[in-house]
Amino acid sequence: MKQSMIRKTIRVLFGAALLTAVCSGSLFAADTIKLGIAGAHSGDLASYGLPTVKAAELVVKEINAKGGVLGRQVELLTEDDVCKPEVAANTGTKLVSKGVHAIIGHICSGATKAALGIYKDAKLIAVSPSATNPELTQSGQYPNFYRTIASDDAQARLEVDFTIGTLKAKKIAVLHDKGDYGKGLAEYAKKFAEDSKKASVVLFEGITPGAVDYSAVVQKIKRSGAEAVIYGGYHPEASSIVSQMRKRGMKTHFISDDGVKDDTFIKVAGKYAEGVYATGPKDTTKNPLAIAAIEAHKKAYGSDPGAFFLNGYAATQAILNAIEKAGSTDYAAVGKALQNEFVETPLGKIRFDKRGDAIGVGFSMYQVRKGVYVEVK
């Protein structure tokens, strides 16, 4: 008697589970729009990749609550690439074989390059929130690539113009961290500075990230007589170099990029951060959509969003909007919609040019004043 009861319960439970599985399967499998989110979600660069995942989750939650896109619910498939090209190739294949309709990502330029070929063959569009390598849009080899962030050369241009035009520096030292991002940026800065003929590049060097001491390089800057240092790289090394420069009483201007325009930089460098210039995405603090997005993040996750959050938010909105406008997930139609239809995002009203760069996304110059980044007008 007892046994049959148990058996019955099991059967009922099993049946129910099967039923839900079938139901949910039929509900989702055929009809959802699958969005792949690829980027560094674990390891040392996770802090660059995870905010985009959260941004996409927020956007999708909102859109799904309103009935989805084209009457279909949106489903997210997140895959980790730890910012390594060889892993990104696997990640890309995995997303393709899971049947995604578009990709948000990747986060790092190298990983993006490795995965884009796979997406190109599968006729899928990728929108990156953070891959800034100029080649991605300028080489013409990646017609399926779009991004909601400006490319490195635009940033380098702004840095050089500011250094020569506003700061009136004649001798510039250009440093970088030997990385993909930093060195690429520094090379553009060097080229632009030399082309302008108004200033000379007196020093061009790569520093070793993670080294225990930067005094030799700092002495070298001092000896070169540079009036301004343009640094391409991220905030950890920048804070060490600035601190050592200031400790040695050097008043040389320090101009850097959006890898440094991070509040952590100010906290780490402390009083030595004062007066440092850094380029960063245009000020969005007054954009109501940006305020709303940040509020939503605080409510859902209980903390301030991290790097590239707004870019990730805008990327998700842009691709979903394009699918909606195109009326399908067809490659050509969505591409056309991305290029022609404006979309309201936290970064402003954007659409994309033929190469895939966002129109309406740009950089401003900021300076650390009294412990906060203030836009320099």
Partner 1 sequence: MEYFLELLLGGLTRGSIYALIALGYTMVYGIIELINFAHGEIYMIGAFTALIVASVLTMSGMTGLSVLILASVVAVLYAAAYGFTVEKIAYKPLRQAPRLSPLISAIGMSIFLQNYVLIAQTSDFLPFPNLIPDLPFMEPYAHIMGSTELVIVLTTTVVTVILTLFIKFTRIGKAMRATAQDRGMAMLAGVNVNRVISNTFIIGSALAAIGGVLIASHIGRINFYIGFLAGIKAFTAAVLGGIGSIPGAVLGGLILGWTESFATGYVSSDYEDVFAFCLLVLILIFRPAGLLGRSTIQKV
Partner 2 sequence: MKILAEFRKSLIISLWFMLLTFPILVIRVNTIEKIVEWRWRNMAFIGIGSFLFSFVWRFMLERRERGRKLAEAGAVETRPFSQRLLEDARVYRPVLAALALFAVAFPFLFSSYQTNIMTTALMYVMLGLGLNIVVGLAGLLDLGYVAFYAVGAYSYALLNVHFGLGFWAVLPVGALLGVLFGILLGFPVLRLRGDYLAIVTLGFGEIIRLILENWNEFSFGPSGVANIPRPGLFGISLSLSEATIYLYFLMLALCLFTVFVVNRLQDSRIGRAWIALREDEVACQAMGIDKTKTKLTAFALGATWAGMVGVIFAAKTTFINPASFTFLESAMILSIVVLGGMGSIVGVILGAFILILTPEYLRAFSNYRMLLFGTTMVLMMVFRPQGIVTNVRRIYRFRGREKNSETAKA
Q: Which residues lie near partner 1 (CB under 8 A)?
A: 43-47, 178, 205-208, 210-213, 215-217, 219-220, 223, 235-236, 239-240, 243, 247-249, 264, 267-270
Of these partners, partner 1, partner 2, none, which one is at the site of residue 84 (CB under 5 to 8 Å by kind)?
partner 2
Stretch 40-69 residues interacting with partner 2 (CB under 8 A) = 41-43, 46
Of 64, 73, 93, 364, the one binding partner 2 by CB under 8 A: 93
74-80 sheet: strands from edge to edge: 74-80, 33-39, 102-104, 125-128, 145-147
The answer to whether 261 contacts partner 2 (rule: CB under 8 A) is: no
- C-alpha to C-alpha distance for 270 and 150, rounded to whole angstroms: 29
Q: Which stretch binds partner 2 (CB under 8 A): 51-59, 92-100, 270-278, 291-299?
A: 92-100
Q: Which two tokens stand for residue 337?
A: 């919609």
Of these partners, partner 1, partner 2, none, which one is at the site of residue 248 (CB under 5 to 8 Å by kind)?
partner 1
Q: Which residue has the tokens 């500075």?
A: 193
Of 61, 171, 178, 222, the one binding partner 2 by CB under 8 A: 178
Smallest distance from partner 1 to CB 239, Å: 6
Smallest distance from partner 1 to CB 258, Å: 16
Other beta carbons less than 10 A from residue 180's beta carbon: 18
Smallest distance from partner 1 to CB 138, Å: 26
Looking at beta carbons only, is 286 or 370 nearer to partner 1?
370
Smallest distance from partner 1 to CB 40, Å: 10
Outline where the chain has alpha helix (H).
Answer: 2-28, 46-65, 85-97, 109-121, 135-138, 152-161, 180-196, 215-224, 235-247, 263-269, 288-301, 309-326, 331-340
Looking at beta carbons only, is 157 or 246 nearer to partner 1?
246
Q: Which two tokens stand for residue 129?
A: 């929130």
Of these partners, partner 2, partner 1, none, which one is at the site of residue 319 (CB under 5 to 8 Å by kind)?
none
Q: Which amino acid is at 36?
A: G
Beta strand 74-80 pairing with 33-39: parallel
Stretch 201-240 residues interacting with partner 2 (CB under 8 A) = 206
Tell me how far CA of residue 356 lies from CA of 99, 135, 138, 311, in angstroms: 23, 11, 9, 14
Of these partners, partner 1, partner 2, none, which one is at the site of residue 180 (CB under 5 to 8 Å by kind)?
partner 2
Dihedral Cα 238, 310, 29, 333, nearest 10 deg: -110
Rounded to 10 deg, the angle between the 331-340 and 309-326 helix axes is 120
- C-alpha to C-alpha distance for 171 and 202, rounded to whole angstroms: 6
The answer to whether 364 contacts partner 2 (rule: CB under 8 A) is: no
Smallest distance from partner 2 to CB 282, Å: 24
Of these partners, partner 1, partner 2, none, which one is at the site of residue 302 (CB under 5 to 8 Å by kind)?
none
Rounded to 10 deg, the angle between the 152-161 and 180-196 helix axes is 40
Smallest distance from partner 2 to CB 65, Å: 27
Looking at beta carbons only, is 273 or 365 nearer to partner 2?
273
Looking at beta carbons only, is 183 or 336 nearer to partner 2?
183
The answer to whether 194 contacts partner 2 (rule: CB under 8 A) is: no
The answer to whether 191 contacts partner 2 (rule: CB under 8 A) is: no
String of DSSP letters for 348-367: EEEEE-TTSBEET--EEEEE
- Going by C-beta distance under 8 Å and a sequence separation of 6 or more, which residues neighbour residue 12? none
Stretch 293-332 residues interacting with partner 2 (CB under 8 A) = none
Interface residues with partner 2 (CB under 8 A) are 41-43, 46, 79-80, 84-86, 88-90, 93-94, 96-98, 109-110, 113-114, 117-118, 121-122, 133, 135, 141, 178-180, 183-184, 187, 206, 263-264, 267
